Chains A and B, each alone.
Chain A
Amino acid sequence: DVKVTQSSRYLVKRTGEKVFLECVQDMDHENMFWYRQDPGLGLRLIYFSYDVKMKEKGDIPEGYSVSREKKERFSLILESASTNQTSMYLCASSLLSPDQPQHFGDGTRLSIL
């Protein structure tokens, strides 16, 4: 079974802090994704990566950056956390082939105070 592991289930940070969310997958997937999920808004794509050191902006990249130094690890960085970044963050990975599904981690519920 594919395993996508997010480093924290719950995280509380303060406004202005730099926040790192880590995601690791164990199935040698090329693609990795970061989403945020908010009530009434569904899943929104922040960034994705299809290879080491490659990144593409999603629908809502403002205020975020990402890092992919190794194939199995994809990090989401909140450069200066703000209260409107309080959300559930979900990481996913998939193979390159378009018929392959994305596999999701359990999510990190991030609260910015």
Chain B
Amino acid sequence: GQNIDQPTEMTATEGAIVQINCTYQTSGFNGLFWYQQHAGEAPTFLSYNVLDGLEEKGRFSSFLSRSKGYSYLLLKELQMKDSASYLCAVRDRSGNTPLVFGKGTRLSVIA
């Protein structure tokens, strides 16, 4: 079976750093994506990891450990506009196969 786990909700303070974890148990692995989704809007692509290590993109970074089935999204210098749901998605097979999405983590940034 396939299982992707993320915390349901998190709260963090403006200006702080927050780490959103994602663990996966899938039959295979061929890449992991993070998406951001504001309430009532479409998910938008944030990052992609296929090799172990950290990928940095401005205030956002994403880390992957394939041996542990684990990824995290790190958001620095939090802003109010970062309040959104963050979706972790795994491609569990090689080739052109659909992503398997986690249920998402709703992040609330407070002043």
Q: Is the CB of B31 within 8 A of A98?
A: yes
Q: How far is the CA of A50 from the CA of B99 in the complex (A)?
A: 13
Q: Is the CB of A98 within 8 A of B30?
A: yes
Q: Which residue of B lies closest to A91 (CB)?
A: B42
Q: Is the CB of B103 within 8 A of A41?
A: yes
Q: Count A-side interface residues using an 8 Å CB cutoff.
A: 23
Interface Cβ pair total, 8 Å cutoff: 47
CB proximity of A11 to chain B, nearest CB, Å: 15
Q: How far is the CA of A104 from the CA of B51 in the complex (A)?
A: 25
Our pick among A40, A50, A99, A107 for the contact of B31 (Cβ within 8 Å) is: A99
Q: Is the CB of A101 within 8 A of B45?
A: yes
The residues of B that contact A107 with a CB separation of less than 8 Å are 41-42
The residues of A that contact B43 with a CB separation of less than 8 Å are 43, 90, 104
Which B residues have a C-beta under 8 Å from some C-beta of A? 30-31, 33, 35, 41-45, 48, 50, 87, 91, 94-99, 101-104
Provide a sorted-by-A list of 13 A–B residue pairs whose CB atoms are within 8 angstroms: A40-B103, A42-B103, A43-B87, A45-B98, A50-B96, A58-B98, A90-B42, A99-B50, A101-B35, A101-B45, A103-B45, A106-B42, A107-B41
